[in-house]
């Protein structure tokens, strides 16, 4: 998202134009192909209209105890949200107008092995790398964040995501032309502050949180309600956030 604010034209060319080129090629030359499109929760906007409860470690949306399902209204925000949202809608329209076997996954936070994270992309991996830096130094250090650290996402390990894609493709006659919110669900949700507590216990370090200004268009909370995926193609997350965090931390340690 941050890079889309720096170069919105490039963001458009990759996400919108790039998707159209793929869809047109398939429409003309491979109309029986299956298109699995990776969209984003950013198509739902900043979710400012949701009522939140501010607790010690996280924001809570009392009216949505299981997270947000696909009935949530679209509200594209940021160039990234607009480009992914436009591409998202083109995939659905090609399914309606041309019978292309395409579907849309609106993802929450994905993490896993071989995710080479940066400060702008892949927040789980980035903060694990910062925690490992602290451990390698004095065992006590600062991590700078945007906002108050109570913002919440549900996290999904990459192995579960692969299973999701194959399961949806196997049921393409049922899933074509549909959207699916895909994430770890409420059980695998985390705030930044909660993540830091887990990393402190896992690595036996002390993290001092240095809070900075909120990033533009950062949602206070997004958790995917994945019930439609379970009903349509029998998928649900199987790897817990704790297991996934341990796997990723061990992998990142092996690269040091």
Per-residue model confidence as pLDDT tens digits over 130-179: 999 999 999 999 999 999 999 999 999 999 999 999 999 999 999 999 99
Q: What is the pLDDT of residues 186-205, one digit of tens each?
A: 999 999 999 999 999 999 99
pLDDT above 90 for 216: no
Does the annotation mark 80 as catalytic?
yes
Q: How far apart are CA 67 and CA 124, in angstroms?
A: 20
pLDDT of residue 41: 96
Q: Give 176's contacts (C-beta < 8 A, 6+ positions apart).
A: 34, 95, 100, 101, 102, 103
Q: How far apart are CA 244 and CA 111, in angstroms?
A: 8
> In this structure, are residues 246 and 177 in contact, taking their beta carbons and an 8 Å threshold?
no
Count Cα atoms within 13 angstroms, Cβ side, for 215: 19
For the chain, the structural domain boundaries read 2-254
> In this structure, are residues 199 and 128 in contact, taking their beta carbons and an 8 Å threshold?
yes
Predicted confidence band of residue 96 (pLDDT cuts 50, 70, 90): very high
Among the listed residues 29, 44, 59, 80, the single catalytic one is: 80
Architecture of domain 2-254: 3-Layer(aba) Sandwich (3.40)
């Amino acid at each position: 998202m941050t890079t889309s604010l720096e170069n919105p034209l490039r963001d458009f060319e990759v996400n919108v134009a790039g998707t159209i080129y793929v869809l047109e090629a398939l429409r003309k030359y491979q109309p029986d192909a299956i298109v699995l499109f990776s969209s984003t929760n950013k198509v739902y906007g900043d979710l400012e209209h949701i009522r939140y409860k501010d607790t010690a470690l996280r924001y809570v949306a009392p009216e949505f105890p299981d997270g947000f399902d696909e009935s949530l209204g679209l509200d594209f925000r940021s160039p990234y949200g607009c480009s992914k949202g436009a591409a998202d809608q083109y995939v659905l329209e090609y399914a309606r107008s041309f019978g292309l076997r395409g579907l849309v996954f609106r993802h929450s936070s994905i993490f896993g092995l071989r995710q080479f994270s940066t400060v702008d992309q892949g927040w789980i991996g980035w903060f694990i790398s910062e925690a490992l830096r602290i451990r390698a130094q004095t065992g006590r250090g600062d991590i700078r964040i945007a906002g108050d650290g109570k913002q919440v996402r549900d996290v999904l390990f990459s192995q579960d995501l692969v299973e999701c894609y194959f399961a949806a493709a196997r049921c393409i006659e049922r899933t074509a032309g549909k959207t699916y919110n895909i994430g770890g669900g409420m059980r695998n949700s985390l705030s930044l502050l909660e993540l830091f507590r887990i990393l402190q216990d896992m690595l036996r370090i002390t993290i001092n949180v240095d809070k900075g200004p909120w990033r533009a268009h950062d949602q206070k909370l997004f958790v995917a309600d994945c019930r439609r995926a379970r009903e349509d193609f029998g998928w649900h997350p199987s790897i817990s956030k704790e297991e996934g965090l341990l796997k990723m931390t061990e992998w990142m340690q092996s690269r040091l």
